[in-house]
Amino acid sequence: MRFKSWPYYNDWCEIFGKDRATGENAQDFVEAVNDILNGDAQKINQTTEEFNDHLEGFVEDTESMCASQIGGGASEKKKGNRKRKLKEGQDQIYEMLGTFCEKIDARLGDIARRIGHEFDISQKREEVYAAVGKVEGLNLQEKLQVSKFLVKNTEELELFFSLPDEAKEEFVRMILAGSQ
């Protein structure tokens, strides 16, 4: 509390000051009684009527609650219902968690499959130049041109590696001719 600001210090001094009986707003017992008898009686009556209205509703609710709790079997049933409700709530939570886990499992499987596919593609990109080098009759510039084309186009890369060796040679010639 030390070194903290006290923005309401003056208000607190007024409310909780030591000179309650002699301060500016101080009021002794006789003055309080005179205020009640003179003008504040009307305010008190209005407040009392409002309070009584609220109190009657509260008393009725309390009486109905007491009447329903008098029977011993009724309270035992409520405890049993409460346990059932808790168990039903737990079952709902377990079901919700199960559904959540199934969805997460499906999503993680999809992510793993995509990462695996990207990894396979990157391995194939590394193997492109060696595979294109097996094609006979190509000079260095043509090998680089075909390798660059296959690395940029993933679908053609997958097709190239799925073809047998004879078809790979024809596919490379089609790429060089521009009619892939």
Residues 121-138 pLDDT 10s: 777 777 888 888 888 888
| Domain range summary for the chain, segments of one domain joined by + | 1-70, 118-177
Distance of CA 110 to the CA centre of its chain: 23
Contact 140/166 with Cβ under 8 angstroms?
no
Which residue from 148, 152, 171 is spatially nearest to 161, judged by alpha carbons? 171
Residue that wins the pLDDT comparison between 11 and 180: 11
Residues 85-106 pLDDT 10s: 667 778 888 888 889 889 988 8
The b/e string for 63-78 (b: 16+ C-beta within 10 A; e otherwise) is eeeeeeeeeeeeeeee
